[in-house]
Amino acid sequence: MKKSVAVISLGKFGIQLAISLSQKGYDVIAIDIHSDPVDDIKELVNFAVVLDATDEKAMRSVNVDTVDIAVVSMGTNVQSSLLTTALLQKLGVADIYVRSINHLQESILMSMGIPENRIINIEEEMGEQLSSSLASGKIGRYIQISERHSLMEIRVPDFFIGKTLMALDIRRNYKINVVGIKRMIPHVDDQGDVQYEIRMTDIPDPEDPLQESDVLVILGTDEHIETFIKIGEEL
């Protein structure tokens, strides 16, 4: 039986979470007090509704009291976040996750009985992820497309420069697929200055040597991608 999840507040984080959970097979109720984000997401989740999440009658009307999990993903409106959390507890929702934006809110949530591992400090987590990416300079955009598979941009490892995809045989040796290559193409503008255009090749030529500025778009299981990244760093 599929689990049901209520995602409350549809900012960037809430929308991404609701869509991702829906893709993973959860029954998702997406809730926001504004109509625009609800309209944006209504075709991508089981049910999306405009309502005030601090209104007990409205929440009961869409059966939030029966969901397995609720995620309170509000950002700066701490008061609404805390009131919504208290209401969810009153409704008897067993598993509640709450986004926190500062240590005071986190301490209040813990005093309300929300376990520390159910408090989401997205700013800290994103900061750590971003700092790691910037430090390596190797990893770009990342999209999870299933529970085990991801699509990722990664700078071409130094060992691969000058070699072809055919010679490297990445699919056999590393168990991942190169589904595209982003390449910096130089050209001279009207003033005689060299400018660079990013060109995406979605059907890579297996006999085209890889260049230092190339970005590989790779697809594979999370395990094989992680191994490939580590190997690239060690080569």
The domain 133-234 belongs to what CATH superfamily?
Regulator of K+ conductance, C-terminal domain (3.30.70.1450)
pLDDT for the residue numbered 131: 43
- 129 confidence band (pLDDT: 50, 70, 90): very low
Q: For 223, what's the count of Cα atoms within 13 Å in the CB-facing half-sphere?
A: 3
Per CATH, the number for 4-122 is: 3.40.50.720
Residue 139 CB coordination number (10 Å):
19
Enumerate the domain spans of the chain. Answer: 4-122, 133-234
* Chain centroid offset of residue 7 CA: 15
Q: Are 125 and 132 in contact (CB under 8 A)?
A: no
Q: What percent of the chain has pLDDT over 90?
A: 42
Tokens of 111: 């005093």
Alpha helix (H) residue ranges in the chain: 12-23, 35-41, 56-61, 78-91, 103-111, 122-136, 165-168, 170-174, 222-234
Could you report the per-residue pLDDT of 141-172, keeping only the tens digit for each? 666 666 677 788 888 888 899 999 999 999 99
Two domains, one topology: 4-122 and 133-234: no
